[in-house]
Amino acid sequence: MDMIRLKSSGCYNTSMHKSILVPGLLLVLSLASCTTVGTPDSVAILESQEKEGADFVEELASPTLNQTPTQIPTAVPTATATPGPSPTPAPATYFYFEEGVNPLTGLSVSDPSVLNRRPVMIKVSNWPREGRPHAGLTSADLVFEYFIGYQMNRFLAVYYGEDAGVVGPVRSGRLVDAQLAQLYQGLLAYGNADPQVDEVLFEVLGERSLTFNALPCPPMCGESTHSATGVFADSGALTAYARENGIDNSPPDLRGMYFQSEPPVGDASGLKLRVEYANFSIMEWRYDPEIGNYQLWEEFDREGVLEMGLMTDRNNDKAVAFENVIVMYAEYLEYAPSLHDIVLQGAQGYQPALLFRDGRVNYATWRAPETERPIVFETPDGEPLPLKP
């Protein structure tokens, strides 16, 4: 499984990571620049070793703040990130995948028929801590992580080549989910949302916007979305629900990523990525050289003292881990302290990113050349970025 973390190029941004024994990618959306009313920046820290074995700690650059937006959009914002000195992007390269190979992981699936559908995208809570451990993250192909305000983050897990019978705790939808669900052409399942956000999600996604209040049990069961630990979804049952209710579930073209078993040389050692939303809200991705992936460690409260601990999936007790962790720097738009959007579909040119794989960090770029196809990752030279299958 891979994970992508969105980190703002001005306020907060993205990165990507992959999980143990399960193909996938983590994408972390991190701030590169921010149109904001004053949300504090998160701090991303690389902890590693030089070739000579000397330890070093480096704080990754954080963005500057821009002007304050005046109103919430009625649809996905058309605002674009401020163009940098990057060249005009060339047409993206889309690689052919053999039948039965999952284009989101580069791995063969045991039952090719499972790919004959849309991806299922489910919102998963990370706060409050009482909702941990999470359920179903180790079964996802991709996991997006992004800032939601008040020093907190949230996940969007993508299920395509494999399903999970229990995913959650499920929480509310956010504005950026409309763009992500369009880029990956998925069904979006979430535990309701702010009325203004709900309006945007339904306007963009239509019947593919699946909320707790509108769904039966199964595919989504629980007490209340206001209970951080009370609602869970079944990704396979969500696919069945779509088919049974006439929702278009045609498989989309999900090509866009490139996979290669042989790792790139890497620009530097990358053994741990630490993201501090606050001194009480910390995410760490620690590289395990024996298994070859990055494991998620988070803070927990032990009798009033915060300590870091390995996160596991409550479904199978496996470590939440990823072969690829990608930090994407993007522009955040803040309309209120907990109401944000992230510029993805409208981003201009090549946007900066970092790929962590096989214990090394690689400078990279990302872009969304088409509004209904996956994000494309490339090297600074414009070549396809080799992700670990």
Q: Is residue 78 assigned to a domain?
A: no
Q: What is the CATH number of the domain that holds 280?
A: 3.50.90.10
Does a structural domain hold residue 161?
yes
Same domain membership, residue 345 and residue 220: no
* Model confidence at 185: pLDDT above 90: yes
Instruction: Based on the fold, state whether residues 227 and 323 are members of the same structural domain.
Output: no
Domain that holds residue 324: 268-378
Same domain, 226 and 312: no
Predicted local distance difference test score (pLDDT) of residue 91: 79
The answer to whether residue 282 sits within a structural domain is yes
Q: What is the pLDDT of residues 39-64, one digit of tens each?
A: 445 677 776 655 444 454 565 554 33
pLDDT value for 8: 58
- Is residue 230 pLDDT above 60, yes or no? yes
Beta-carbon contacts of 17 under 8 Å, excluding residues fewer than 6 positions away, are 1, 2, 3, 4, 5, 24, 25, 26, 27, 28, 143, 285, 294, 296, 321, 322, 323, 324, 325, 326, 356
| Single-letter amino acid, residue 316 | N
What pLDDT band is residue 19 in, cutting at 50, 70 and 90? Answer: very low
Q: Same structural domain for residues 123 and 236?
A: yes
**Same domain flag for 221 and 272:** no
Q: Give per-residue pLDDT as tens, 190-206.
A: 998 999 999 999 999 99
Amino acid (1-letter code) at residue 43:
V
Residue 389 has pLDDT above 90, yes or no: yes
Q: 211 with 297, same domain?
A: no
What span, in angstroms and rounded, lies between the C-alpha atoms of 374 and 93? 12
Which helix (H) or strand (E) segment is 22 a member of? none
Residue 349 lies in a domain: yes
Tell me, yes or no, whether 204 and 279 share the same domain.
Answer: no
**Helix residue ranges, H only, the chain:** 175-183, 195-205, 235-244
Q: Are 42 and 356 in contact (CB under 8 A)?
A: no
Looking at the structure of the chain, the number of domains it has is 2
Q: Is the pLDDT confidence value at 34 over 70?
A: no
Task: Tell me the average pLDDT across 195-218.
Answer: 97
Using a pLDDT cut of 90, give the percent of the chain over it: 66
Asked whether residue 126 is domain-assigned, the answer is: yes
Per mean pLDDT, which range of 3-12, 176-185, 299-308, 372-381 is the poorest?
3-12
Confidence of residue 75 (pLDDT cuts 50, 70, 90): very low
Least confident of 156-165, 273-282, 306-315: 273-282
Instruction: Tell whether 137 and 236 lie within a shared domain.
Output: yes
Q: Which amino acid, 230?
A: G
Structural domain contains residue 294: yes
Which pLDDT value is given to residue 303?
84
DSSP label at 42? P
Q: Is the pLDDT of residue 260 over 60?
A: yes
The predicted model gives 244-253 an average pLDDT of 98
Mean pLDDT over each residue of the chain, to the nearest integer? 85
Are 363 and 290 found together in one domain? yes
The reply to whether 237 and 289 lie within a common domain is: no
DSSP 198-267: HHHHHHHHGGGEEEGGG--TTTEEES-TTSTTSEEE-HHHHHHHHHHTT---PPP-----EE-SSPP--S
**Alpha-carbon gap, residue 304 to 279, rounded angstroms:** 14
Range with lowest mean pLDDT among 3-17, 301-315, 366-380: 3-17
Specify whether 168 is located in the same domain as 282: no
- The rounded percent of the chain whose pLDDT value lies above 70 is 80
Q: Do 184 and 227 belong to one domain?
A: yes
Residue 339 belongs to some domain of the structure:
yes
Domain termination site, one of 245, 260, 278 = 245
**In the predicted structure, residue 70 carries a pLDDT above the cut 80:** no
Whether residue 75 lies inside any domain: the answer is no
Q: What is the pLDDT of residue 16?
A: 37
| Angle (deg, nearest 10), helices 175-183 and 195-205 | 20
Q: Are 161 and 104 in contact (CB under 8 A)?
A: yes
* Contacts for 51 with CB less than 8 Å, ≥ 6 apart: 269
330 neighbors 31 (Cβ within 8 angstroms): yes
Q: What's the whole-number mean pLDDT along residues 205-217?
A: 97
